[in-house]
Amino acid sequence: MKNILLFIIPLSLVFGIDQAIKWFFVINNFNYDGNIISLVLVYNKGVAFSMFAFLEEWLKYIQVALLVAIFIYFWKNIESFKSYIIPAGIIFGAGISNVLDRFIHGGVVDYIFWHYKFEFAIFNFADIMINVGVACIIIYTLLKKNTKT
């Protein structure tokens, strides 16, 4: 039960925060032009940097299948899952939120645009949380290897 909560709580928090922010932007059609970061509402039909946008309607089903496949892998390798349960919850919460956008809005709701000294792709809170989750897994893995040697 404890392991399930360690997965469900970060998943729910990331999902809830991300959806609340996105709905704020969608309902208010919110935009802010800043010097370093602008907040600009866009609907990304692809993935990072709008790649695979040509897959259109199929992309959301591919992403659902990918999330299910990763979850099945973790379920079958439960000991690995336990080692990364909190970051996995963070990643799944963010991934589910972005996929839900595709079903509701026709694309992922993005709104953060970094344009100081260079222009970066427009992204959202869920994208940041996916990177945080992956970074946690990498750091944990490296620390785990160092303690074994």
pLDDT score for 148: 65
- For residue 50, pLDDT beyond 70: no
- For residue 51, pLDDT beyond 80: no
Q: What is the mean pLDDT of residues 30-34?
A: 90
pLDDT score for 95: 95
pLDDT more than 90, % of the chain: 61
- For residue 12, pLDDT beyond 90: yes
34-42 long-range contacts (CB < 8 A, ≥24 apart) are 35/116, 36/114, 36/115, 36/116, 37/112, 37/113, 37/114, 37/115, 37/116, 38/113, 38/115, 39/111, 39/112, 39/113, 40/111, 40/113, 40/122, 41/109, 41/110, 41/111, 42/109, 42/110, 42/111, 42/122
Q: How far is CA 48 from CA 77, 125, 139, 141, in A?
A: 28, 13, 23, 25
Q: What is the mean pLDDT of residues 131-147?
A: 89
pLDDT score for 60: 86
Query: Annotated active-site positions, please?
Result: 110, 127
> Whole-number mean pLDDT of the chain?
89
Q: What is the mean pLDDT of residues 142-147?
A: 79
Task: State pTM to two decimals.
Answer: 0.87
Q: What is the mean pLDDT of residues 5-31?
A: 96
Q: What is the mean pLDDT of residues 59-73?
A: 90
Q: What is the mean pLDDT of residues 35-64?
A: 81
More confident residue, 86 or 57: 86
Q: What is the mean pLDDT of residues 26-50?
A: 87
Q: What is the mean pLDDT of residues 21-36?
A: 93
Q: How far is CA 94 from CA 40, 54, 110, 126, 146, in A?
A: 20, 23, 13, 4, 29
